[in-house]
Amino acid sequence: MIEAIWKEVTLTPRFPLGTSKGVLHARTVWYLIAWHKERPGIRGIGEAAPFPGHSLEFPADVRTKLVELCANTADWEDRLKRDLLQVPSVRFAVEQCLCDLRASGSKVLFPSDFTLGRQGIPINGLVWMGDKATMRQRIQAQIDGGNRCVKMKIGAIGVDDELELLAEVRKNFSARELTLRVDANGAFNHRDVMPVLERLAALDVESIEQPVGQGLYETMAEVCANTPLPIALDEDLVGLHVRGAKQDLLDHVKPQFIVIKPSLVGGWASAQEWIDLAGERGIGWWITSALESSIGLNAVAQWTATLPINRPQGLGTGSVYANNVPSPIAVKGGELRYVPEVAWDLEQLQLSPVPGPAAPKG
């Protein structure tokens, strides 16, 4: 029999995390911890990490489901196919927790050359919004760190300044030397989006994520049909839980790429369905984190390492928190690496003690 508890944790960013939807100064995540009653020292841990401004879940939804799951652990597998579809971050936490429990709490969820430290995952360096001078410094730091794919958040400080920063990069690095991506988080509208896309294309930008707002399917379909550079859907994937809805989106909008965040779309099984449907339609994809702590990032990264990767992934977010869980995950030279010699340190989670088995009578 499985027993379980949950814990709510606030993560503190090292710097304000700016997007076109606002600035994030703190991040709340929830850990689901489970163990077998007869083996209380071996724990599986999963992370629920809905993302403010992107997820359709509310904290109350997460807490309610975690309370229910811990009160009754007998039907977890069945609930993955039922009500947990509506709370994708919790669904992913259950997937992680059960997988880690099967792995004896080792956090090695998908053994591979990645978890052996033999192979890294190519990633894009992420440039968060800030003032122009700060963003210029952050771009240079990503390049100096060995990244040959840099993704910049746009849509907050003014498109002219943002494009000027990208133009500065292009003066020093050609598209063959450095791939540029941008993420608008839905910052533009039907009137202003096409001129921006044309200016980005002139700078050999590889792609733009979610140029217009979530749910504006008619506008996005028109943009994808006429764009001078590839469009990647991101937020538009959130909230679509059944196969038919996913098919309808891809068939109607016809994006060039989709960006898949397992924490926001419902975990590994749902993410794999998106990959399969995209592949059937000749649509490219990549996987990104959703600002999880090391627990969730590890789960996303290890699964991603099992996929046929042919472009940089968006997994370089583990270092943004001052109080992240110390782990073997590290960014080195434009890759996410797993360093097996480094041990997990879960002490700071201060998990409630798990009772041991009852002493035999007699």
Which of 65, 151, 246, 261 is the catalytic position? 261
Q: Answer whether 87's CB lies under 8 Å from 57's CB.
A: yes
CA-to-CA dists, residue 77 to 61, 81, 147, angstroms: 19, 7, 40
Helix (H) or strand (E) holding 98: helix 88-102
User: CA-based Rg of the chain, rounded to a whole angstrom?
Assistant: 21
Query: What contacts 153, CB < 8 A, 6 or more positions away?
Result: 18, 19, 20, 126, 127, 128, 129, 182, 183, 185
Q: Which residues of 114-126 are buried (b: 16+ CB within 10 A; e: fewer)?
A: bbeeeebbbbbbb
DSSP state of 51: -
Known catalytic membership, residue 21: no
Instruction: For residue 54, give the nearest of 259, 286, 201 by alpha carbon.
Output: 259
Query: Are 32 and 87 spatial neighbours (Cβ–Cβ below 8 Å)?
Result: no
Q: Which of 65, 107, 153, 246 is catalytic?
A: 153
Q: Is the dihedral of CA 253, 187, 235, 57 positive or negative?
A: negative
Residue 86 to residue 119: CA distance in whole angstroms: 35
**Per-residue tokens: 338:** 């797993």
Backbone φ and ψ of 2, nearest 5°: -95, 140
Tell me if residue 37 is catalytic.
no
Q: Which residues are catalytic?
A: 153, 261
